[in-house]
Amino acid sequence: MARIHNLGFPRIGAQRELKFALENYWAGDSSLTDLQATGRSLRAAHWQRQAGLDLVPVGDFAWYDQVLTMSATLGVLPERAGHTPGTAIDLDTLFRVARGRAQNSCCGTNAASEMTKWFDTNYHYLVPEFTENQAFHLSYHQLIEETREAIAQGHNAKPVLIGPLTYLWLGKCARPDADKLLLLDDLIPVYRQLLQALRDAGAEWVQMDEPILSLDLPLPWQQAFESTYHRLQIRGLQQLVANYFGELGNNLSVALQLPVAGLHLDAVRGGVEIGRIVDRLSPHKILSLGIVDGRNIWVTDLEAALTVLRPVAERLGDQLWLAPSCSLLHVPVDLTLETALPEDVQPWLAFAQQKLEELVTLKAALAEPHSPAVTEKLKINRAALAARRTSARINQVDVQARVQRLSSHNAFRPTKFAERNKLQQAKFRLPLLPTTTIGSFPQTTEIRKARRLHKQGKLSGREYAQLMRAEIQHAIAVQEKLDLDVLVHGEAERNDMVEYFGEQLTGFAFTQWGWVQSYGSRCVKPPIIVGDVARKQPITLEWARYAQSLTRKPVKGMLTGPNTILCWSFVRDDQPRSRTAQQLALAIRDEVQDLEAAGIGIIQIDEPALREGLPLRKKDWTEYLAWATHAFRVCCAEVADTTQIHTHMCYAEFNDIMDSLIALDADVITLETSRSQMALLDAFEQFTYPNQIGPGVYDIHSPNLPTVEWIAELMHRAAEKIPPQQLWINPDCGLKTRTWPETEAALKVMVRAAKKLRNEFQEQAPKQQATDADAAIGLEPA
Ligand SMILES: CN1c2c(nc(N)[nH]c2=O)NC[C@@H]1CNc1ccc(C(=O)N[C@@H](CCC(=O)N[C@@H](CCC(=O)N[C@@H](CCC(=O)O)C(=O)O)C(=O)O)C(=O)O)cc1
Ligand SMILES: N[C@@H](CCS)C(=O)O
Ligand SMILES: [Zn+2]
């Protein structure tokens, strides 16, 4: 009989219990003992929820991030966080690595570790930092202790580890050209030590996550797999190597030849490979099929799944395991908590809990296909799928016709940037190195409370709008006082940059408890794209108009781009993503045009998820980038030459998509660059990026205050790569997670640095160059 297991359960808690426990602890409002008690009770509850499975995961619980836990386990923490190599690690050290340490603490400041996207998800991990002579030591025992904890509670515990090759791949070396594979020899003995300890704690199986098997790997990395896993064999412990997020592709032979007891495949994204793998699987090896989608929230088509599974079960018998395609970290916990979803939509959905129940049904259906319970479950599933297929909620003929008309033109702005730039400079008359921010200002407790009361009906629409207008007024006043050049309204009215837009569009559904961890204690509640998308009414217009009415300086209109709405929502799976992106683009275009007509001359269309949406395999890039950049251009192709379009991106590497960034043809792009100390700009230099760039000059995730000297240093580095006439000065990203005092203090420093640099750059420039530059930025020649 097939066995069922899970790759990972969401740790944050159905009601974000871990988030609140962490934030209380960090604020000094609760003790470490309280925090640990919350952790223990969440783990126990989550294992209990999974008790119907044959094996439950351990190690999916992390205090901040599972990659950080692995780094701590292996003793790979930066010394600046107070870690002495070779010594045991405590939770506070872990948090210092993740969050940095503010200036006012007793021991100076330290920068947080860099955070970046976990494959193509909206989850962010902390990048392991390898030193020149990195040594590894088993330094942190959370996984071992939790394995004992689960076993003591009567569970068949399967510890989950990030495999050594994926772990190395995710990290960065002090010397960027260093060969990380050289670290393997020292790393493997510590993995062995860990595996032995897990076996001694009572584990029979471990899951070694190696999702880099979904990537195009260089040959030495492919070759390293077999010998690594040979060296990791431990008597009495069976290993399941798990690949997810894609097909194995040209890593298929590598995976099949691994000297391990089992292999997990992402059968949702890599379903085409099942036949080939079953045919070549060594006898006695376990094949775990990730048949239930761990990345989306639609119910599984159980009949279709069984059609795939039956012949495999026939061939493999007990050696077949069933699982979700990947960890359920990326979906909300429990659909049964939802009380406000449309009645017809609810049966179409499955969250983590329901996905595990689907596995139970699939197992039963393979074992006893004709049992009344199975027949009933399949009947309910069929009915849900049929109702969704034929629902009137899905189709809007006029939206589809509009998209149809769109597909034929490429949506480039007719006038070249160089010409637009002159016109825009003449209009806005901005100084050299204009200053701006990325959009959001602090989302204070008062703002969130007001929104909660409004949602509960305890604060009227008028009262709520009044409070939000007061926030806008405050944000504008602060920015004027700081003497920023291009202002923003501050996004006070938005719960989230994606959910907020979804709420104003047709075709979306929303959850109350559908929280998914984004990083650390921060969560998002992705809206669900159920049907065709269109704008119901203007979305941001009144807020933007109000903000602009308060100042003579330009206020940027602030929109979320179609690709980002797509990536950060749960998307429909009944049409190509590209078509949904086109529908979203038309909706955003309507908003852009309304803003322009209302006199908003600068409009930012955020696309931080453009890079995240990139397929993991290069062969799929061209097609994606063509439709994604097209969707962006659709939003702004028809604005006047004098309307300045900004875009913003964060948490991404851009080297490999520079052509596409250029193809967006935004007048200004603002980027997160401070943590890489402007290294991200190398690609912009190399490709002679033609338009304007605002490289982020300070990290908004840290409460650490930047200094004028540090910002000046970064901007000097930027100016070595990009002519100063093309540069803006801004923070890395939005300021919603900061407090007002931190925000004002940091921006004050930023503006001071900008003024200092302006003088410097203007003095340094040779006369002729200065004249050209002045003309380019709209100043009268001297
Ligand atoms: C830019 N980023 C974003 C990503 N994805 C998005 N969908 N949105 C993004 O902005 N991915 C990449 C990055 C990730 N960065 C962040 C940064 C900050 C957060 C964050 O702060 N999340 C909040 C939740 C935000 C939200 O939706 N708020 C709602 C509901 C607030 C709430 O919890 N209400 C409570 C009551 C609170 C009270 O009374 O004080 C309740 O309803 O019970 C809102 O503002 O209305 C978080 O708290 O984690 C996320 C990603
Ligand atoms: N405008 C958004 C972008 C975040 S990526 C903000 O400022 O929060
Ligand atoms: Zn950002």
206 lines ligand 2 (CB under 6 A): no
Q: How far apart are CA 26 and CA 291, in angstroms?
A: 39
Q: CA Rg, the chain, in Å?
A: 27
Residues with CB under 5 A from ligand 3 (ion): 608, 650, 733
In DSSP terms, 668 is beta-bridged to 646, 692
Q: How far apart are CA 7 and CA 326, in angstroms?
A: 6
Locate the ligand 1 atom nearest the alpha carbon of residue 449 and give its number: 39
Say whether pLDDT at 780 is over 60: no
Protein residue with least CA distance to atom 3, ligand 2: 734
Q: What share of the chain is helix, strand, coil (3-state, %, to 5)?
A: 45, 15, 40
Structure tokens belonging to residue 120 = 């193509």
Task: Render pLDDT for 621-633 as a digit per residue (tens, 0 to 9).
Answer: 999 999 999 999 9
Q: Which ligand is nearest to the CA of 612?
A: 1
Q: Which residue reads 């009567």 in tokens?
A: 154
Q: Which ligand is nearest to the CA of 438?
A: 2
Binned at pLDDT 50, 70 and 90, residue 407 comes out as low
What percent of the chain is modeled with pLDDT above 70?
Answer: 96
Tell me the best of 499, 555, 648 to mutate to test the pocket of ligand 2, counting ligand atoms within 8 Å of each CB and taking the most.
648
Binned at pLDDT 50, 70 and 90, residue 655 comes out as confident
Binned at pLDDT 50, 70 and 90, residue 103 comes out as low
439 is in an annotated binding site: yes
Helices (H), 429-494: 445-455, 461-482
Helices (H), 100-183: 142-152, 164-170
Catalytic residue (one of 330, 489, 701, 716)? 701
497 lines ligand 2 (CB under 6 A): yes
246 lines ligand 2 (CB under 6 A): no
| The pLDDT of residue 263 | 98
590 is in an annotated binding site: no
Structure tokens belonging to residue 18 = 């871990």
| Ligand 3 midpoint to CA 733 (Å) | 4
535 and 591 in contact (C-beta within 8 Å)? yes
608 lines ligand 2 (CB under 6 A): yes
For the chain, give every domain's residue range: 417-761
Q: Which ligand is nearest to the CA of 117?
A: 1
| The pLDDT of residue 677 | 87
525 lines ligand 1 (CB under 6 A): yes
Q: How far apart are CA 531 and CA 533, in angstroms?
A: 6
Show Cβ contacts of residue 396 under 8 Å, excluding neighbours closer than 6 positions.
506, 507, 531, 532, 534
Q: Is 100 left (phi over 0), alpha (psi -120 to 50) or beta?
A: left
Task: Render pLDDT for 74-86 as a digit per residue (tens, 0 to 9).
Answer: 999 999 888 888 8
371 and 318 in contact (C-beta within 8 Å)? no
| The pLDDT of residue 105 | 46
| Ligand 3 midpoint to CA 609 (Å) | 9
439 lines ligand 2 (CB under 6 A): yes
Tell me the best of 539, 558, 604, 605 to mutate to test the pocket of ligand 2, counting ligand atoms within 8 Å of each CB and taking the most.
558
Q: Sign of the C-alpha dihedral, residues 276, 278, 283, 286?
A: positive
203 and 154 in contact (C-beta within 8 Å)? no
Q: How far apart are CA 637 and CA 645, in angstroms?
A: 10
| Ligand 1 midpoint to CA 447 (Å) | 12
> Which range (112-126, 336-350, 673-687, 710-724) has the least confidence?
673-687
The ipTM of this complex is: 0.97
568 is in an annotated binding site: yes
Say whether pLDDT at 769 is over 60: no
| The pLDDT of residue 765 | 65
Phi and psi angles of residue 633, each rounded to the nearest 5 degrees, phi first: -65, -30
Tell me the best of 18, 121, 452, 737 to mutate to test the pocket of ligand 1, counting ligand atoms within 8 Å of each CB and taking the most.
452
Binned at pLDDT 50, 70 and 90, residue 88 comes out as confident
Protein residue with least CA distance to atom 13, ligand 1: 518
Task: Render pLDDT for 267-314 as a digit per residue (tens, 0 to 9).
Answer: 999 999 999 999 999 999 999 999 999 999 999 999 999 999 999 999
Tell me if residue 445 falls in helix, strand or coil: helix
Using the 8-state DSSP alphabet, how is residue 205 labeled?
E
440 is in an annotated binding site: yes
CATH number of 417-761: 3.20.20.210
Which among 292, 290, 291, 283 is positioned nearest to 315, based on CA atoms? 283
370 is in an annotated binding site: no
| Average pLDDT over the chain, rounded to an integer | 95
Task: Render pLDDT for 695-754 as a digit per residue (tens, 0 to 9).
Answer: 999 999 888 899 999 999 999 999 999 999 999 999 999 999 999 999 999 999 999 999
Locate the ligand 1 atom nearest the alpha carbon of residue 496 and give its number: 27
121 lines ligand 1 (CB under 6 A): no
Protein residue with least CA distance to atom 30, ligand 1: 495
Q: How far apart are CA 533 and CA 438, in angstroms?
A: 26
Helices (H), 87-243: 91-99, 142-152, 164-170, 184-200, 219-231
Q: Which ligand is nearest to the CA of 526?
A: 1
Comparing 702 with 386, which gets the higher pLDDT? 386
Q: Which residue reads 């860099």 in tokens?
A: 114
476 lines ligand 2 (CB under 6 A): no
26 and 63 in contact (C-beta within 8 Å)? no
Binned at pLDDT 50, 70 and 90, residue 776 comes out as very low
Q: How far apart are CA 572 and CA 578, in angstroms?
A: 11
Say whether pLDDT at 766 is over 80: no
Protein residue with least CA distance to atom 38, ligand 1: 449
Tell me if residue 714 falls in helix, strand or coil: helix
| Ligand 3 midpoint to CA 757 (Å) | 24
Does residue 701 carry a catalytic annotation? yes
Phi and psi angles of residue 237, each rounded to the nearest 5 degrees, phi first: -135, 125
554-583 average pLDDT score: 98
- Burial string for 482-493 (b: 16+ CB within 10 Å, else e) reads bebbbbbbbbbb
Structure tokens belonging to residue 690 = 């033609």
Q: Is 529 left (phi over 0), alpha (psi -120 to 50) or beta?
A: beta
Tell me if residue 265 falls in helix, strand or coil: strand
Say whether pLDDT at 498 is over 70: yes
| The pLDDT of residue 408 | 61
